[in-house]
Chains A and B, each alone.
Chain A
């Protein structure tokens, strides 16, 4: 049972354009969502998060949007840079669930110069 889904295995964008990575979830108990970035041969690194009481969180070039009614969140990267090329994982957690994260399958982003 895949509770967090990233349906696009890969995405390719041109440098300077917007990258939009999508994530869907099925568990209505999830109330905290995170994006992690992973370079080859490294562990995932925290990028940005959002609580279910918000619908948007922004940090520099990165913005996460949450649509609770659709059980959907997205990560926008503007402008995209070649160094953003990595695998992006969406993750979710539920209140009272001791911080345990449920991850999506990941989306590989390639930003072309």
Chain B
């Protein structure tokens, strides 16, 4: 079974530029998550989708971050304009359902450096 796919793996941009990350979850997984992991910290949830609807985006900086999952399968996370503090690993994850007890599987992450 294929895992969670993410691209690009690495990206370096200048501040105020924009960047987009793509994620394809495990086949059949209805719930998709985007987490941000800053160096030395644990992953922090940015947004959670159930199919193509947003379940939780309370910690998404909506003035610069946006995400979509139009057909309920793959998803895109965009940052515009980027700030230095956005340098982090962006982890996409998926689970069969967004309920307690369902294992969440992570992709390898997209590493962003903002200079």
Q: Which residues of A contact B (CB under 8 A)?
A: 4, 6, 31-32, 34, 36, 41-46, 49, 51, 89, 91, 93-106
Verify B100–A97 contact, CB threshold 8 A: yes
Verify A32–B109 contact, CB threshold 8 A: no
The 8 A-B residue pairs with the shortest CB-CB distance, nearest first, are: A103-B42, A43-B106, A99-B98, A98-B98, A32-B100, A43-B108, A44-B106, A103-B43
Verify A98–B108 contact, CB threshold 8 A: no
Indicate whether A43 sits within 8 Å of B41 (C-beta atoms), given known contacts A31-B100, A99-B31, A100-B48: no
Verify B48–A98 contact, CB threshold 8 A: yes
Indicate whether A43 sits within 8 Å of B4 (C-beta atoms), given known contacts A104-B42, A106-B42: yes
Verify A4–B91 contact, CB threshold 8 A: no
